[in-house]
Structure 1
Amino acid sequence: MRTRTTLAAALLALAVLTAGCSSADSKPEASASPTQDPGEAFMSAVTNAGLDSYADGVPPAEELGAFPPQWCDGLDSGHSVEWLYDMQQGNLYPIGQTWGTEKTDAYEVLVLGVRTHCPDHSDAVLEELRDNGLY
């Protein structure tokens, strides 16, 4: 009985040890590489876009950066870009107390936010904007 218990424990230990190992031919997971925070990536993309609306300075990250997660939530719920930006519906047009965004720039900001925060919606957002002649 002791031999069977020892053998079973050894086999279990071997299974646990080899479960985490991978063969030399396997490729590293895509998620294994370090990634940039979506909020930082978004603000960097907005800054680098050189939008006319922000010629005097990009809005504060805590204000503008609050929009992409909300856009993603709206898109996850099946809403359209039109719904997101409608002041009576989504009311998620990128505007603050001391700053605003021109309409064509607002669509660019939305695209940048979707790309950094919920890229699975990028194709649908671009399609809607293009179909409506907005992008």
Structure 2
Amino acid sequence: MHTRTAAATLAAALLLTACSSAGTTSAKPKPSPTVSKREQFFHAVHAADFQSWTTNGPADSELTDYPRQWCDALGSGHTVEWTFSSGGGGLYPIGEAWGTKLADAHELLLAVKVYCPTIRGQVLEELRVGGAY
């Protein structure tokens, strides 16, 4: 019986030592990979599944410049309406072989959260006031 108690005590001591040394390891956590703004934007675009692009949508290369241009226009104090209008910014997301419904364009515009997060609130407020979001 004394042997069993000694073996149980030794097993408990080894377990306790293993647990406490496992919790005190000095291994540094691996940094998470950095995801570019472009990758974040296209991940959101592909996940959105815009109805107006069901039959024919843009290639990624056709959308690449829009977010930065939208940020520049909106950051300069222009409205979403001006930014999208042909008489203003001319930055409505449309191509020769594809189009975007206005509701989808507004959702797409919210990519400013990736490229220029400080402007996102302004865009959301404008879309809410206009009844678009």
Runs ≥4 residues deviating over 3 A = none
2:13 maps to what in 1? none
1:114 corresponds to which of 105, 112, 116: 112
Q: TM-score, normalization: structure 1?
A: 0.71
Matches within 5 A, 1:27-38: 34-38=33-37
Cα deviations by residue, 1:15-70 (Å, 9 ceiling, x for unpaired): xxxxxxxxxxxxxxxxx754311112111101101110122354111111210010
> Unaligned regions of 5+ residues in structure 1, if any?
1-31
Deviation of 1:96 (Å): 1.0
2:51 maps to what in 1? 52
Task: Look at both structures and tell me which one has the larger radius of gyration over its CA atoms.
Answer: 2
CA contact (8 A) 1:42 1:65 kept: no
1:124 maps to what in 2? 122
Matches within 5 A, 1:1-135: 34-56=33-55, 58-111=57-110, 113-135=111-133
Deviation of 1:128 (Å): 0.4
Partner Cα distance (1:127, 1:101) in 2:
21
CA contact (8 A) 1:47 1:58 kept: no
Corresponding pairs, count: 103
> Unaligned regions of 5+ residues in structure 2, if any?
1-30
Partner Cα distance (1:57, 1:35) in 2:
31
CA contact (8 A) 1:53 1:105 kept: yes
Q: TM-score, normalization: structure 2?
A: 0.72
Partner Cα distance (2:62, 2:53) in 1:
14
CA contact (8 A) 2:52 2:100 kept: yes
